[in-house]
A and B are shown apart, each in its own frame.
Chain A
Amino acid sequence: MKKFDVIIIGSGVVGSSIAYHLSEYKEHEILLIDKDFPLSGTSGSTQAWVWVHTKVPSWYGELSLYSAELYPILEKKIGDVEYNRTGGIAPFFNEAEREKAYRLAEKQAEVGIDIKVLTKDEVLEMEPYLSSKIAGATFSKLDGTVNPFRLVELYVKAARKNGVKTSYYNRVLDIVKSGNGYQVKTERGTFLTTKLILAGGPWSKDLGELLGVHIPIKQVRGQIIITEPLQPFLKYTIGGIRQTVNGEVLIGYSKEEVGYDRRTTLDVIQQTAKMAIDFIPALAEANIVRTFAGIRVMPLDELPILGQIPGLPGAFIAAMHSGITLSPIVGTLMAELLTEGETSLDITRYSLSRF
């Protein structure tokens, strides 16, 4: 039976990042398993914002901030993932929300997240295509976007270069505690490992069940519209809308609990198109070429679940919404935890034991 030091289940953005960061230590024999192929799940069906400024509570905003700060360094190591710190605008449509915006700015300032609350004129000067019906917006320079396809591809390439083995189209059938490690039974054979990381995204709950552990996450569908490529006209990432490097505009912020169903429906797509035009009236004339849906990984309290699984030595979990934003910091922290037994940032708040 082939033996590894670490097996990571799930090669989405979180699992692939952990594999890469762990492989940088060059101390572990690592196997990265996925039941499908990288990008076939949640990591490949996202607008891929690296989004910080509206993330609350502020200590969670802080984690997002640290992650965003790691992106420029990450790009130097694994290659161009098209990280673009555009700055982020979250518009509001009535004056009553301005008060909330100030409170958000105040809270986030405590952890070093700089938010400006803009007047309508200020927003329109920055982003002239936004609707004149908006009342204002919060703005932060810290937000941006990344190309999720390049990001995951390059995490995997860099990990492989460091010796990580990958096994795709290989479903994990069972996990059994064995001595001071685990036996991972898969469609393509059984592997032994000392340490095990569950990074199954929306399937984390199923993986937890194999170990007899309840992972409290929900699957939340988000439907997104893609337009034809348009001339670059949006400078910033707007809450709900971004323009990609090749000109397509991605729009969507819907939430539905419908299990793992990735179809799109005309009801929500019409609502989303309406939102697009409310935000940016000029989009009325744009052609829509595609819609898609992604299944968000949503822990019950919406905050990441990170670290050791209580009661199961050697078993770890990393399950979270906003995996694109958080992957650099989560990869870094999990690699520290597995290699050194402790992390440079306190992650006890994110422990599974809080539920």
Chain B
Amino acid sequence: MDKSTIVCRCEEINIDEIETAIKYGAETFDDIKRLTRCGMGPCQSKNCIGPVNEIIANNTGKQLKDLPLTRMRIPVKPIKMKVLVTDIENSSIASVLAESVDEDGDNR
């Protein structure tokens, strides 16, 4: 197939870019993802995982059953920030500055 064929349509990554990552040593979908951004778009690899794993199998001689899944994380589908927050009133996440200086203003 033409090497310029798009595999990941969200990030417009083509076969050639994926094969280049494999030549660099990538063996799994997530290896390729971090090198190329393949699968990092809005669909979060729901469409390209199958085709990419076939390209890996064809290039490395590995079987599909030996190719691990990509990591799947919250949210299952994109969600607006304000919807996610819902009725949380106070964030418990520390601030960078507050962490840097303790009550005495010295090192932690």
Contacts and interface: CB of A to CB of B under 8 A. Distances in A.
Contact of A266 (B26, B28, B74, B78): B74
Contacts of B73: 263-264, 290-292
Q: What range describes how many residues of B lie at the interface?
A: 35 or more
A288 B98 contact: no
A273 B34 contact: no
A187 interface: no
A287 B88 contact: no
B84 A288 contact: yes
B78 A54 contact: no
Contact of B97 (A44, A153, A239): A239
Interface string B18-43: 00000011111011001100001110
Contacts of B74: 264-266, 269, 291
A109 to B, nearest CB: 14
A23 interface: no
Given A92-B98, A157-B24, A274-B90, 8 more contacts: A104-B100, A166-B25, A168-B27, A239-B96, A263-B73, A285-B81, A287-B78, A289-B41
A118 B95 CA distance: 16
Interface string B41-73: 110100000000000000000000000000101
A286 B80 contact: yes
B4 interface: no
A296 B80 CA distance: 27
B104 to A, nearest CB: 9
A137 B95 CA distance: 11
Contact of A97 (B75, B91, B97): B97
Interface of B: 24-28, 30-31, 34-35, 40-42, 44, 71, 73-75, 78-82, 84-86, 88-101, 105-108
A183 interface: no
Contacts of B24: 153, 157
Given A37-B26, A274-B85, A275-B93, A56 B101 contact: yes
A328 interface: no
20 contacts: A37-B26, A44-B34, A54-B96, A54-B100, A92-B95, A93-B95, A99-B105, A104-B100, A153-B24, A228-B42, A239-B96, A239-B97, A253-B93, A253-B94, A277-B81, A287-B81, A288-B78, A288-B80, A289-B41, A289-B42
